[in-house]
Amino acid sequence: MIDIKSLTIEKAHESLQKGEYSCKELAEIYLKNILEKNKEINAYLEVFDDVLEQAEIAQKMFSDGSATLLTGIPFAIKDIILIKGKKASAASKILENYVASYDSTVIKDLKKEGAVFLGRTNMDEFAMGSSSQTSAYGVTRNPLDLSRVPGGSSGGSAAALAGNMSLAALGTETCGSVREPAAFCGLVGLRTTYGAISRNGIIPMGNSLDQVGPFGKNVRDVEIIFNSLSRYDKEDSTSVPMELRNVDSRKDCKKIGVPWHLFEDGVDKEVGDNFKQSIEKLKSIGYEIVDIELPYSKYSLAAYYIIMPAEVSTNLSRFDGMRYGFSHDGKDLAEVYKKSRGEGFGKEARRRILLGTYVLSHGYYDAYYNKAIKVREKIKEEIVNTFKKVDFILTPTVPITAFKIGEKMDDPVAMYLCDIFSAPANLTGVPSIALPSGFNKEGLPFSIQFMAPHFREDLLFKVGKDLENLK
Ligand code: GLN
């Protein structure tokens, strides 16, 4: 019997290597679990019909000695990441029947290693949301409490992993979409440095912010996936060449800055208390905690909710009902556009297209978009300068714990506030890791988040492992 609850990538690899079970047997266990649980949780929009064939290919890599740590590892893949020959809908009606014609670079890399893709996971439509409730295909439930959301937008990937319906999972982040669901589902989630992992073949939301990010049950799993995907890719013009990644060479990193002023208000008391306990733990293992001020970062969310919709409105203009995707008849071209887009996009997508078009329009461009870009530069400068004084920046991951399904849907601003601690990393492009930090009385997970200098994911893994070893 395989105990999948405590299974990790390394443990599974060891067993597959020793032949204790086969890649097919491992995949079958997950498929069985999906069959039992997915109806209720709705983590997967589709379970692939070739999982066992993929497992057989992986098995051959063990026989011919070419297996790596990810060979045979069953993955859940967010429905925004293209896999050749499979549907990729971004959980939108407008892409309901879209079939990808090529593999994204991350999928190509994972295929080379013989990873097994179980299926594509639910998400907020076009990755816009913090609860996976804006999907055109129903909400995903949090496996830890079925009355609550798993977070978003990569909620399906997080729920698949937390519900033992996969052993590893990929999500994407534009602003918190890996870290927030990781926090709500008790997982480790990584937002990678902008330019570290290829965005080729990822349906874009905000090009200057998007990054692929792994989920894992522990830090090591996330590290394994990151190491396998982090590389230069000429197919992505924003991919950073390897020789430009060694910009920061600090060692022996123990100094953590805490911007207390950013979370004086608006953080749930129990989240604040848990955060303080985490600080004590860090002190007990030799980390130094210092106060820092990030005066510009308090405008992160405001800047993000201008820059992101601007990029969204541009990106989503390609869905016109003519080239591909959902199309509605009309008496002329304008009516086809109007009806296809009006019915193909959900409410949140339409809201952001409107906002984005507005902030980019003549007369408002300078007042909104241009100003937000300037604020973003100030925030970047501030964060980069802060990393001259400290090695990490620490905050709670989210100001609250997983909320009830149905909540915040009528109040977009309340939903956007979930991203308050996520935005600085995405606007700046630095990496950030969300780490589980205990549970509240109802059994809902808490989470803390570290940011590190550009391309220093290794520091995040180190501090994450130090905390894990303490448990
Ligand atoms: N909560 C963020 C938003 O709604 C999520 C974006 C993301 O990271 N994909 O914009």
pLDDT mean values, one per 10 residues, the chain (471 residues): 93 98 98 98 98 98 98 98 98 96 98 98 98 98 98 98 98 98 98 98 98 98 98 98 94 96 89 97 98 96 97 96 90 95 97 97 95 98 98 98 94 91 98 98 98 98 97 69
Does residue 240 lie within any of the structural domains?
yes
The one catalytic residue in 177, 239, 278, 300 is: 177
Does residue 400 lie within any of the structural domains?
no
The pLDDT score that the predictor gives to residue 267 is 94
Angle at CA of residue 459, ends 69 and 177, nearest 5°: 75
208 is catalytic: no
Query: Ligand 1: which residue has its CA nearest to atom 4?
Result: 129
The pLDDT score that the predictor gives to residue 263 is 83
Strand partners, 77: 120, 170
Does residue 165 lie within any of the structural domains?
yes
Note down the domain range covering 28: 9-244
pTM for this one?
Answer: 0.97
What CATH number does the domain containing 164 carry?
3.90.1300.10
| Count: domains in the chain | 1
- The torsion angles phi and psi of 410, rounded to 5 degrees, stand at -95, 0
Which of 440, 405, 468, 459 has the alpha carbon at shortest distance from 134?
A: 405
153 is catalytic: yes
- Amino acid identity of residue 332, one-letter, is D
The response to whether residue 176 sits with its C-beta less than 6 Å from ligand 1 reads: yes
The pLDDT score that the predictor gives to residue 1 is 77
Does residue 156 lie within any of the structural domains?
yes
The pLDDT score that the predictor gives to residue 126 is 98
Q: Alpha-carbon Rg of the chain, whole angstroms?
A: 21
The response to whether residue 129 sits with its C-beta less than 6 Å from ligand 1 reads: yes
**How far apart are the CA of 311 and the centre of ligand 1, in A?**
13
Query: Ligand 1: which residue has its CA nearest to atom 10?
Result: 128
Does residue 439 lie within any of the structural domains?
no
The response to whether residue 157 sits with its C-beta less than 6 Å from ligand 1 reads: no
230 is catalytic: no
The pLDDT score that the predictor gives to residue 302 is 96
Does residue 219 lie within any of the structural domains?
yes
The pLDDT score that the predictor gives to residue 265 is 79
Q: Best of 175, 210, 422 to mutate for ligand 1, by most ligand atoms within 8 A of CB?
A: 175
Does residue 355 lie within any of the structural domains?
no
Closest ligand 1 atom to 178 CA: 8
The response to whether residue 303 sits with its C-beta less than 6 Å from ligand 1 reads: no
Does residue 188 lie within any of the structural domains?
yes
The response to whether residue 205 sits with its C-beta less than 6 Å from ligand 1 reads: yes
Q: At what angle do helices 23-41 and 9-18 cross, to 10 degrees?
A: 140
